[in-house]
Amino acid sequence: MRLISFVDLKNEFNANLDNNLDHWLKCVKKFSFEEDHNIKKNFISTKYHSEISNDFEEADFDELLNYFKSPNVLPALIVIPDSRYIAKNLIELVEKIIEINSLNCKIQCINSNWNDPINDGLNRLTLNGLLNESEIRKRNSIIFKVNRGEVVTKSPIGYKIGSEGNLVIDESHQDVVRKIFSLYTGIEVDQFNQIRRKLGIRRISDYLNAEGIRTKNGNTWSPSSVDVVLKNRTYTGIYKRSGIIITNNHPVLISEDIFQKAQNIRASRNIFKSPRENRLIFKKGLIKCGICFRNMNFKNIFRIWENISGYSRKKNYRYYYCFSISCSGKNINNIRFEILFEEISKQIRKIVKGYKKSFNKKLVYWEFPKDDKFDEKKKILEKNFLNTLRDVSKGKLSVDNLRNYIERLNNMEKSFSKEQTINLESIYSELQNLDFKNEEKIFYFINNLTNLISIKNNSVRINIKKPIVFDS
């Protein structure tokens, strides 16, 4: 196969390679000879133009792509030392791999424990830059041990770490694992559960605790700790760590058939839980008690009752309370959330309407900080990107599944600003038709427009920030 080597030395990362290009060239030739490839070009992107030997041609990544776009050039295998020599972070790495794949070319790392650049990138890069050298050495050490089947974490119950670092059966706890799988599946395991009873994880934890059986750490069993055992494939003799899977690595405690039976039961019993409703509350310190001038606290009260007809009813009540001693008893100061929300919106609308009359034909706006949820949304998107990237590294998904994440992350960065301006007309139109379906946006206005909201005996007083006024 045709082979092209490429190294980008313009990145901040600066290893010994830029001072020893002869060594890199030897690595490329050795790899080409062993894998029966035909070297066509050796590209390098560097700041030191005068130091390039005749064995290399200068080209950055865009020029590398343009080389393959030529009608006379066939696809090839592109080799790099590791992911740091083509990208500064994981997002840039994925973008470049997608572009290389679009040209029907392949890319491989040849000076790394991870030949696949995505696996290499997960162990050398982050979303924002490079891992430090000590962290990379630590990961390399883990990979070395994992490849030998050595345990690099705590051993699960039923096993212990042997003298050579591998898993061996712990005779004092092996029967506990067999009991759990037997009770859960209803299958006899080593003459246990001959009556073939099938229990759920809660009843299994109760049974183990009643029998005086404890976890490996000496704690009582809970449904979650039982489930941890049931979903651990280590008991079938498979060792999995850092993307490496080794079968028949250690003695088997549970057969593959029984383990799969347990997974089928777990899948059938998993109940989908709807995500918790996003609770919108005012920012801390904004709502003050008009009696004692302390902060008021949000309280959520959920009540269930039966009506005269015997039907069960339930309702959620939201309040702002003052919990100070001076406001307790007969002087209790509280207000229903819905009443407070509507009253604040009405008062802001009235003040804004007054500004419209006072500053007729003038540009009136407020400067708001960036959306408080920007960082939260970005973190969620980055987490989903990393999870999908790990699935790609395991061969479960194609790298093309990451296109959408990259586009959304890049758009977020472009739209990011520390402050944004909201004009008077936008605020007035949003508050004109009060709609609880648009709570989040109205909350954003209230939290950023108001300096203080005072509550006293169900009456509401607000103080809003002064706007910036310009002649239009």
> What stretches in the chain show pLDDT beneath 50?
12, 14-15, 18, 271-278
Signed CA dihedral, 182, 188, 189, 194: sign only? positive
What's the CA gap between 87 and 95, in Å, rounded?
Answer: 9
What's the CA gap between 261 and 188, in Å, rounded?
Answer: 13
**CATH code that applies to domain 2-131:** 3.40.50.1390
pLDDT of residue 300: 83
pLDDT of residue 312: 78
pTM for this predicted structure: 0.55
pLDDT of residue 116: 92
Location of structure tokens 């060239």: 25
Q: In this structure, what is the dihedral angle of CA atoms 382, 385, 390, 396, given to the nearest 10 degrees?
A: 160
pLDDT of residue 191: 61
pLDDT of residue 306: 78
Is 68:103 a contact under the CB 8 Å cutoff?
A: yes
* Burial grade of 49 (CB within 10 A; 0-12, 13-18, 19 or more): exposed
What's the CA gap between 59 and 63, in Å, rounded?
Answer: 5
pLDDT of residue 276: 47
**CATH code that applies to domain 159-269:** 3.90.1750.20
Is 183:206 a contact under the CB 8 Å cutoff?
A: no
CA distances from 66 to 43, 74, 435 (A): 13, 12, 54
What is the domain partition of the chain in residue ranges?
2-131, 159-269, 287-370+418-471, 374-415
Is 244:147 a contact under the CB 8 Å cutoff?
A: yes
Both tokens of residue 181?
């799988």
pLDDT of residue 193: 55
- Written in H, E and C, the secondary structure of 127-168 is CCCECCHHHHHHHHHHHHHHHCCCCCCCCCCCEEECCCCCEE
What proportion of the chain, given as a percentage, has pLDDT over 70?
84
Beta bridge partner(s), residue 295: 288
